[in-house]
Chain A
Amino acid sequence: MRSSKLAVLAFAALAVAGCAHQPSADDPKVRGIGYVRVTDVLKKHPLYPQLSQIQDAIDGLGLKSLGPNAVPRTQAQIAQQTKELNRELQQAQDRANGILRQKQQDYAQREQAAIRAALGAAGAGTNGSQPVQQMQNVSSAQAQQVAAQANADFNAYQQGVIAQDNAAVQQISKQLSDRADREYRQRATQLQEKESQLSLELSQQDASKRLDLRMKLNSLALPDAQRKQYRDQLAGLDKNEAAIVAAQREKDQKALADYQKQLQEQTRAQITAQAQKIHDATRSKLASRHNEVSQQVASQMQGLQPQAIPSNLPAATRDKLAQIDRQYKDAFKADAQKTIQQYQSTKADLDAQYQALQSADGTASVSASKELAQLQKQRDDLYNKMVDQIKRDAGTVAAKRGLQVVFMNIEGAGGGIDLTDDVEKDIESLHQ
């Protein structure tokens, strides 16, 4: 019985000693004010590991953005992959053109041999070289027609691509200009608020003088000269305040003008850089199309029209030569078609990759930003829940300590009571 009383007394003494090192709420260096470092308490909260886990998941998205298998997210990555695709396409075109050229030569040589043999069999002998040579001369009119058509197609495409280029540059210019406008307006609003505050402070400073003058002016028995003097003083106060506010406004306007100039220069530089990228992409598209057209022209040039057969040959020989020409042309067409199909297949695959690449940035951003938004919401909800609990506990501790007001997120303390340790213990004990 005696020992238990002693224990209680000892515990009470310890409790008093524990409180003794901190000042009381009415201490001049406290004046009823306390504070809590919420970021420190959060780390002791039982839900902190969960919060960290969500944060890790958010960081994980950052890891994906650095990974090689990630969908490209930067302009530089897209540019690099576009360059690789362009190279692959170029190689496919060169390969197809090379094969076609080789086939053309093979078929031409075989046709020449067949024609020589036919002429020999018909008794034309070595004179057969002249008709063969004549047949080799592809009609220049046909060639010019094919080239003209190809040029017209290319020009139409070029105009379309250039129009797209202009639209893209305009769009990016608008976006960057809008952003600069927003920043400018934000700064302007800040300065405006500052001016309002100044105006209010000035009117407060002069409020007692103004009230005094107005009361004096209310007196009916005031001589005219005196009344004028008071009115002038009142007007003087107004004028002085207006002058100070106007001076501040002028200063702010100058600062704003300088800021606008800086923003304009910055925006101009950004627009130039973006426009350069767009122009580079356009040049690349045009170069690619040019290669395609060249290949088509080459393909069409390969004498798909029947060649002119010299008219001085006998009718049977002419028929034979025409048949040989058709036979080899048809065989070449069928063979070349296979090569062209192979090339088209490769090109379709590369086109799909281009398209995926062009939309990748947007798609990846949308997908990643959705995931990020979800995670951030989860984190914010949990964070708010934890902070609310810390606030409630801080309130309980503050009431026990007789404090009148408790702050969080402070920058520094010249006094007050730091409740962080108490709240940390409280939070920990609540969940033990």
Chain B
Amino acid sequence: MNIRKTYRLLAAVAALALIAAPSAIAADLTGVGFIDQAAIGALPQFQKANQQVAQYKSQLDSQFAAQMKHAKNPSDQQRIAAQFQQKFLDKQREVLGPLFGRAQTAIAQVSANQKLGVVVDKRIVVYGGQDITKNVMDLVNGPGAVVPPSATPPPATIGYVDQSQLENVPKIKQANDNFTKYASDQRANAMKQMQGAKNDQKQQQQIFQSYQKSLSDQQHKLLDPLVQQTRDAISKVASQKGLILIVDRSDVIYGGTDITSDVQNALK
């Protein structure tokens, strides 16, 4: 009877293991974690530090105003401004630097413990992933120093690009500049026409619609092809590097593979 029970239990465990196995394997493969950054920023020590910096700044402001009154010329003003700017930065580094450092190290340690290749902002995760916010908060709040992990992050399945850098690729920058100029000219033109339309609501509506359409058409003509080229280049580089998805740099908190320069080269 006992033997039969044991076999039944083993069979149940085996069945459970079979059910649980695919998700366990997949969890190991993804290695994606996420953090609620707002929750970290709301920790009392961060808030206190921010208040401290703000208080210091208000003190500096009055000192700055007093010294500027005695400035003899513009270069004197610049010197005073730079001096105060440096003071503020030093204070910011002094007060917030250790906190940022501690949080970064905590994220690194939790990620290493949970074998995460990348940690992203909570807002871009629709489903799944590992929420490590609480673990990080516990470490940040805990006593003693947070020890950096000895291992580097495992190879990530997620990569990232810095969009602000991609915007500096000459042909993208040129297209953006051209569009901005076009939009500005069109607006000036529409304003002139509006002055002429006086109280004719219908005519005003037509002018506005025509203005919007001209912008939309120009956007399709100038920018859309480049947007598509950029997407294609990103996907191509991602495939070459064995990365599953690419997100924006600003959404990545830890780990991940930076493919910005590869994409920049592909776009040249």
Contact = CB atoms under 8 A, between A and B. Distances in A.
Partners in one complex: yes
Interface of A: 25-26, 29-36, 38, 59, 62-63, 66-69, 177, 181, 184-185, 188-189, 192-193, 196-197, 199-200, 203-205, 207-208, 211, 260, 264, 268, 390-391, 394-395, 398-399, 402-416
Contacts of A411: 160-161, 163, 231, 234, 246-248
Nearest to A408: B126
Contact of A192 (B97, B163, B244): B97
Contacts of A390: 126
Given A31-B26, A398-B128, A404-B30, A413 B235 contact: yes
Contacts, number: 191
Interface in B88-106: 88-89, 92-93, 97, 100-101, 104-105
Given A260-B82, A391-B126, A408-B126, A66 B194 contact: yes
Contact of A412 (B129, B190, B212, B235): B235
- Among B26, B81, B151, B241, chain A packs the most CB atoms within 10 A around the CB of B26
A404 B27 CA distance: 6
Contact of B127 (A25, A66, A260, A403): A403
Contact of B195 (A26, A68, A415): A68
Contacts of B152: 204-205
Interface string B103-125: 01100100000000000100011
A196 B243 contact: no
16 contacts: A32-B27, A38-B126, A62-B208, A63-B208, A205-B152, A211-B150, A264-B78, A264-B81, A390-B126, A402-B26, A409-B248, A410-B247, A411-B231, A414-B242, A414-B244, A415-B245
Given A32-B27, A33-B30, A398 B197 contact: no
Contact of B244 (A29, A177, A203, A208): A29
B150 A208 contact: yes
B118 to A, nearest CB: 10
A189 B74 CA distance: 27
Identify whether the interface residues of B are mostly helix, strand, loop, or mixed.
helix
Given A26-B26, A211-B150, A405-B128, A200 B104 contact: yes
B246 to A, nearest CB: 4
A395 B128 CA distance: 8
A395 B126 contact: yes
Nearest to A36: B126
- Among A185, A398, A412, chain B packs the most CB atoms within 10 A around the CB of A412
Contacts of A394: 126-127
Contacts of A403: 26, 127-128
Nearest to A414: B238
Nearest to A77: B191
A26 B244 CA distance: 12
Nearest to B33: A405
A260 B88 CA distance: 14
B141 interface: no
Nearest to A63: B208
Nearest to B190: A66
A63 B125 contact: no
Given A199-B101, A412-B246, A405 B125 contact: yes
Contacts of B78: 264
A197 B254 CA distance: 9
- Among A200, A207, A410, chain B packs the most CB atoms within 10 A around the CB of A410
B133 interface: no
